Amino acid sequence: MAKTSDIPDIPEFKILGRIGGGSYGEVFLARSVTGNFRAVKVVRREDFERERTFEREFEGIQHYEKVSQDHPGLVDVLHAGRNDKEGYYYYVMELADDVETGSDIDIDHYTPRTLASDLKHHRLRSVRECVEVGSLMADALGHLHAAGLTHRDVKPSNVIFVKGVAKLADVGLVASSGQRTFVGTEGYVPPEGPGTALADLYSLAMVLYEMGTGKDRLEFPELPTNMELPPTVNRDEWRALNAVICRAGAPDPRRRFENGAALSAALRRIVEPESGSKPSWHRGLAVAVGVVTAAILGAAGFSAFRDLKDPPTSPPVMPPNAGNDSPSSQAPSNGPKGGTIENPPPPFGPEPSPLLSSLPNAFDLVPQDDSTFGTVGGGSVGSGGKGGKGVVITDPSNSSKAMPPKEP
C-alpha cells in the first residue's frame, strides 16, 4: 500500500495510506474513530479545468448517496463532505475485501479485491459466476438508472467485492442520464458514446464477454482461438450466455436489452429456465448445438477459424440481406480484431462442417430465430456486430437447408 505526503484531513477518520486512484481523485484506506476500516475518495478542484465540472461531479455523489444503500450491488457511500479551503471534496465508502484475506484487513499489505484482480488470476470464469455477477450488476444499474443516474465507466476494476458480494464501485463518474461529457474506458464505451442507460448495459456486456471467454474486450466479438473450457462446463449454458452478451453488446443500441432488469432476467434464465420448457435458443437447434459444441469447444488443439488452408467445399448459407452494406448491417469495430475471418478451417479433417464454416465470431453463434434474446427495435441481434455477418445457422444434416429467421 502506497504512502502519500499529501494526506487529506477527513473528520473522524485517520488516513492510513493511499490504495489507488480513480476518476479524478485518489482513494485512501482509513480507520474511523470506532475502529472500522473504510475507503475514502478525495477529489481535488485542481484536477479540473472548469469549476462547473468539479461541482457537477460533487452533485453526482450527492445524488448517488441517496440511492447507494438501497441496493446490494452498489457500493455504499456512507458520508460525503468537502473542504473548500483546501479545494477538495471527499466521500467515505465501505471497504473492498482484501484480495488474499477477505474481510480480515492487514493495513500494511492491503490490496483491494476487484473483478479485475480475479480475472488476473483466472481469466475464464464459469457460466454460473458470470450469471451471478452479471445479474447483480445489471440489477444495480437498473436501480441507478431508475434514479436518473448513469455510471459511465463499468469495467472489471470498478467491480469490487465486499464480504464476498460483488458491488459496482468508482462512483466518481456517476452523473445524470444523458450527460454527454466523454468519459469512460476504451473498449467498454459503446459506439454511440457513454452517458445513457443502454451505454452502461453495453459496458457490462463487455465485462461479461471477458469473463465468459477469457479474451480482452477489444477483441469482441471474436471467440477464443482455443476454447480451453473444462469438461464440467455446460455447453448449452455457455451458448445461452453468448446470446445474452451479443444482445447487450449490440453496436446498435436499439437492439440491446431495454433496461437492466431485462438483462438480469435473461442472465438468470440461463441457469434457471422456466419449469417444463427449454429456452427458445435451444428449441429446434439440438443437432446444431451438438456440432458447435463438439467442434468449437471440444476439439483438442483445434485453433478455431484460423490457419487451415482448405476452404469450405460449399459456401455457407447466408440470410437474405447478407449482401446489404447499409449502415445498420455494418457496425463499427471497437478493436483491431473485429473483422470476419476468411476461409475458416474445418473442425476435424479434410471435410469441413457447413455449420462451422459460417461462424467467425460471437454474433454468428446466435440463432436468428432466437425469441428469448433476439428481435429488438426492428432487427435481430445476430444480424450484425463488430464485423459480424449474421450468418443463419444451418442444419448440419442438410447443408442446403437453413433455419430461416422469424418474420417480423
| pLDDT per residue as tens digits for the range 266-282 | 999 999 976 434 444 44
Is residue 295 within 8 Å of 356, Cβ to Cβ? yes
Residue 18's pLDDT band (cuts 50, 70, 90): very high
pLDDT of residue 364: 74
Higher pLDDT, 224 or 208: 208
Q: What are phi and psi for residue 149, nearest 5 degrees?
A: -120, 155
Q: Are 315 and 392 in contact (CB under 8 A)?
A: no
Q: Return the sign of the alpha-carbon dihedral for residues 58, 135, 251, 407.
A: negative
Q: Is 131 helix (H, G, I), strand (E, B) or coil?
A: helix
Residue 328 DSSP code: G
Provide the pLDDT confidence category of residue 232 given band limits of 50, 70 and 90: confident
Strand order in the sheet with 13-22: 13-22, 25-32, 37-44, 88-94, 77-83
- Report pLDDT for 311: 35
Query: For residues 168 and 20, what is the distance between their CA atoms, to the nearest angstrom?
Result: 16
pLDDT for res 171 = 72
User: Mean pLDDT, to the nearest integer, of 115-119?
Assistant: 97
CA 355 to chain centre: 27
Q: Model confidence at 157, in pLDDT bands (50, 70, 90)?
A: very high
Domains of the chain: 13-104+111-219 (1.10.510.10), 235-383 (no CATH)
